[in-house]
């Protein structure tokens, strides 16, 4: 069991850390959006008019026939409306609207948190479906690792609260691995399991998508299987004749009244989708994806006839779908209460620490023996460990820095600004692996120092390019920006402290080496 735990951990650690790290950042994806897209730092509209938003989205393609429109109603976390339309000639198009005025905002200059960090958490940006499968495999492996970890932990109850930071690195890293693994076990188990359930609709079609991938045919996702625990509204066919549509506000009010009556508490819609715009068979889908202070997701849905205003479909979730909805709500963390998001953030970081300390323990406990017997194996795992952990954090930091450095309309070799940001992220991540391979254990110190410098630079660049330093952000109520800067500052301080401690350890070791014999930095 120990062998299984060690080798599955080493094999899957890189993917697991990436999924955990990106998932942890996704908890604050809208706040990251506000930091990376300064034009979205606007006040929430007092009473956003859905019809104004709808008209603005439709008018963004003036000489085209819009067929479908969808958008999420503005919230304090996402005050700008990110709409999506499908038009006859333009095809799919994203449109950003200021809900206070209906004014169209310039095209998004960065994928930021919601369109880069979140998809990275789900698919790792690997081509085709490889990313989905990798995350699926890593998730199952993590469940296996959590269970095997409990079995091989000999003193799980007696050492439940034991962390000895002043002992040798091998001991303290194992303590940290055990403590984060044991204490956060229920949270980690539930978050991984719920993640699997959220995407079960896709994973259920695994064999078919695999065949499609290999044979390079069309995707044949089998919704029949997925429908057992999820729900996919059907696409209404257009009638082909034009008709006057009723206001969206009427449809929304109608759906909200039905939910309020059903649940005996005020219910607010949060997502609108309009099908067959201006057609006699127009349909308005009103969703309540994330009810405030309830662990539910994608449960409430009412379809209203866009011409007559009649309720065409009112979804009542089955028992299985209700359980799935609870788990999806748990995983998506869209509750109104901000304290809970911070607790999730701590839980996610604990997962990262658990994986990182596992890596450190593995290399630390083998380095001395491996120096004599199999140096290549440990050197390889060391490089992978450092590149996967601190390397990914550096790449994320650079992603923020490059976002503040590039001008808004910047393009290079026909690459758009968001595409450049993404490529820089992956290029820097690849470089950190090379650096780790060359510098081995010294790379921990180098990369910790790099994280400190990059984090500090990101704060300064945000100040210089937007004028919003922490004090301004707080005075103007931009808590998302202030929080982001505060977290970057904390990261800079912690990383600088770690780099200094590693530096002094290396100095002591160098002195020892001169007088005694060679000893490893962390093998101790």
Part in contact with other proteins (CB under 8 A); list of ranges 131-139, 185-193, 274-282, 301-309: 185-193
Part in contact with other proteins (CB under 8 A); list of ranges 106-114, 130-138, 341-349, 378-386: 341-349
Q: Is 346 in the site for other proteins (CB under 8 A)?
A: yes
Give me the residue label for tokens 């970081």.
Answer: 349
Task: Figure out which of the listed residues 241, 293, 515, 517 binds other proteins, where binding follows CB under 8 A.
Answer: 293
Q: Which helix (H) or strand (E) holds 83?
A: strand 81-87
Q: How far apart are CA 498 and CA 452, in angstroms?
A: 10
Six-digit token string for 218: 């069309």
Part in contact with other proteins (CB under 8 A); list of ranges 48-56, 58-66, 178-186, 354-362: 178-186
Task: Figure out which of the listed residues 11, 133, 137, 187 binds other proteins, where binding follows CB under 8 A.
Answer: 187
Would you say 128 and 8 are in contact if contact means Cβ atoms under 8 Å apart?
Answer: no
Task: Figure out which of the listed residues 165, 309, 467, 511 binds other proteins, where binding follows CB under 8 A.
Answer: 165
Task: Figure out which of the listed residues 337, 380, 412, 426 binds other proteins, where binding follows CB under 8 A.
Answer: 337
Taking every pair of Cα atoms in the chain, the longest distance, rounded to a whole number of angstroms, is 91
Identity of the residue, 180 or 276, whose beta carbon is nearer to other proteins in the bound complex: 180
Q: How far apart are CA 446 and CA 429, in angstroms?
A: 14
Whether the CA torsion 257, 262, 232, 76 is positive or negative: it is positive
Task: Figure out which of the listed residues 20, 28, 290, 330 binds other proteins, where binding follows CB under 8 A.
Answer: 330
Q: How far apart are CA 208 and CA 222, in angstroms?
A: 8
Q: How far apart are CA 437 and CA 94, in angstroms?
A: 42
Q: Is 339 in the site for other proteins (CB under 8 A)?
A: yes
Task: Figure out which of the listed residues 90, 136, 340, 500 binds other proteins, where binding follows CB under 8 A.
Answer: 340
Query: Alpha helices, DSSP H only, in 373-411?
Result: 375-388, 390-405
Task: Figure out which of the listed residues 31, 279, 296, 305 binds other proteins, where binding follows CB under 8 A.
Answer: 296
Q: How far apart are CA 86 and CA 364, in angstroms?
A: 55
Q: Is 290 in the site for other proteins (CB under 8 A)?
A: no
* Rounded to 5°, angle at Cα 293 from 290 and 296: 40
* Nearest distance, CB of residue 190 and other proteins, angstroms: 7
Residues in Cβ contact with 438 at an 8 Å cutoff, skipping those fewer than 6 apart: none
DSSP for 53-64, written as a single string: HHHHHHTTSTTS
Task: Figure out which of the listed residues 294, 368, 439, 469 binds other proteins, where binding follows CB under 8 A.
Answer: 294
Identity of the residue, 158 or 515, whose beta carbon is nearer to other proteins in the bound complex: 158
* Nearest distance, CB of residue 490 and other proteins, angstroms: 15
* Nearest distance, CB of residue 20 and other proteins, angstroms: 15
Part in contact with other proteins (CB under 8 A); list of ranges 134-142, 291-299, 436-444, 478-486: 291-299
Q: Is 285 in the site for other proteins (CB under 8 A)?
A: no
Residues in Cβ contact with 152 at an 8 Å cutoff, skipping those fewer than 6 apart: 1, 2, 5
Task: Figure out which of the listed residues 141, 180, 436, 441 binds other proteins, where binding follows CB under 8 A.
Answer: 180
**Three-state secondary structure call for residue 151:** helix
Site string for other proteins, 307-326 (x = CB under 8 A): -------------------x
Would you say 463 and 469 are in contact if contact means Cβ atoms under 8 Å apart?
Answer: yes
The residues of the shown chain that bind other proteins, judged by CB under 8 A, are 158, 160-165, 179-180, 183-184, 186-187, 190, 293-296, 326, 330, 335, 337, 339-340, 343-344, 346-347, 350
């Amino acid at each position: 069991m120990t062998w299984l735990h060690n080798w599955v951990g080493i094999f899957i650690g890189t993917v697991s850390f990436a999924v955990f790290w990106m998932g942890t950042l996704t908890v604050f994806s809208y706040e990251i959006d506000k930091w990376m897209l300064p034009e979205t730092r606007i006040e929430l509209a007092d009473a956003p008019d859905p019809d104004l938003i709808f008209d603005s989205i439709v008018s963004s393609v003036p000489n085209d026939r819009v067929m479908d429109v969808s958008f999420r109603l503005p919230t304090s976390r996402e005050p700008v409306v990110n709409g999506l339309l499908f038009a006859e000639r333009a095809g799919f198009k994203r449109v950003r609207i200021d809900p206070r005025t209906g004014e169209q905002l310039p095209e998004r200059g960065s994928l930021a948190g919601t369109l880069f960090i979140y998809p990275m958490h789900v698919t790792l940006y690997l081509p085709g479906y490889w990313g989905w499968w990798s995350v699926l495999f890593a998730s199952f492996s993590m469940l296996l690792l959590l269970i095997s970890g409990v079995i091989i932990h000999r003193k799980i109850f007696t050492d439940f609260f034991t962390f000895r930071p002043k002992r040798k690195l091998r001991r303290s890293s194992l303590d940290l691995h055990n403590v984060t693994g044991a204490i956060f076990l229920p949270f980690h188990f539930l978050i991984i399991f719920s993640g699997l359930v959220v995407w079960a609709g896709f994973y259920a079609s695994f064999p078919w998508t695999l065949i499609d991938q290999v044979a390079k045919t069309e995707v044949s996702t089998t919704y029949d299987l997925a429908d057992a625990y999820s729900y996919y509204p059907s696409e209404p066919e257009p009638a082909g004749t034009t008709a006057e549509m009723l206001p969206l506000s009427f449809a929304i009010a109608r759906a909200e009244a039905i939910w309020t009556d059903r649940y005996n508490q005020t219910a607010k819609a949060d997502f609108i989708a309009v099908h067959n715009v201006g057609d006699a068979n127009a349909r308005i889908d009103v969703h309540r994806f994330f009810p405030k202070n309830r662990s539910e997701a994608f449960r409430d849905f009412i379809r209203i006839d866009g011409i007559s205003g009649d309720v065409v479909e009112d979804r009542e979730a089955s028992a299985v779908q209700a359980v799935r909805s609870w788990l999806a709500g748990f995983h998506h963390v869209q509750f109104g209460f901000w304290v809970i998001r911070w607790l999730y953030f701590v839980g996610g970081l604990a997962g990262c620490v658990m994986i990182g300390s596992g890596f450190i323990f593995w290399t630390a406990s083998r380095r001395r023996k491996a120096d004599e017997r199999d140096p290549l194996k440990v050197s390889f795992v060391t490089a992978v460990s450092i590149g996967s952990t601190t390397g990914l954090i550096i790449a994320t930091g650079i992603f923020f820095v490059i976002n503040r450095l590039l001008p808004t309309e910047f393009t290079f070799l026909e690459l758009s600004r968001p595409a450049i940001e993404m490529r820089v992220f992956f290029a820097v991540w690849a470089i950190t692996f090379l650096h780790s391979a060359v510098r081995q254990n010294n790379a921990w110190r180098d990369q910790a120092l790099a994280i400190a410098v990059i984090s500090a630079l990101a704060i300064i660049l945000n100040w210089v390019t937007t004028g919003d330093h922490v004090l301004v952000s707080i005075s103007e109520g931009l808590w998302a920006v202030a929080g982001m800067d505060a977290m970057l500052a904390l990261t800079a301080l912690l990383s600088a402290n770690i780099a200094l401690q590693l530096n002094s350890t290396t100095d002591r070791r160098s002195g020892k080496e001169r007088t005694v014999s060679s000893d490893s930095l962390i093998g101790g």
